[in-house]
Amino acid sequence: MTKPASGTSNTLPAGHALSGRERIVRADRTASRTIDGRAVVISIDHNRVHVLNDVGTHVWEMCDGRTLDAIARDVVERFEVEPERAALYVRAFAEVLVEVGAVQLSED
């Protein structure tokens, strides 16, 4: 398994709440493809396949070093949801992506 870059993590400490300032990037050992508007994500080290819904696919496509807050703002605009709801969704989804090894978080 590859080690995360300095300052990045592929695990969250117990009880750690995401602030939204974390930057999120796809893990090197994750493959994905979008089929009919839905991302199919394969966590190679965990041997799992995940099919994402529309919002999840959009968030996945934005996992390029942006902050969780920036992604949540984009979700608000694109899907016309309340900012608080978008922030909660993006943070919760980021936690799941970290848990399955699909992304890494960093606080810069």
Backbone angles phi, psi at 106, to 5 degrees: -140, 150
DSSP state of 5: P
pLDDT value, residue 15: 54
The secondary structure of residue 16, as a DSSP letter, is: P
Specify the pLDDT at position 87. 97
CATH of domain 20-106: 3.90.930.60
Among 52, 51, 89, which Cα is nearest to 73's? Answer: 89
User: Token digits for 100?
Assistant: 């399955």
Looking at residue 107, its pLDDT comes to 81
The H-or-E segment that residue 98 falls in is helix 83-99
| Tally: H helices and E strands in the chain | 3, 7
Please give the model's pTM, rounded to 2 decimal places: 0.82
Q: Mean pLDDT, 10 residues at a time, over the chain (108 residues)?
A: 39 67 95 96 91 97 97 97 97 94 89
Look at residue 105 and give its three-state secondary structure. Answer: strand
Give residue 37's pLDDT. 94
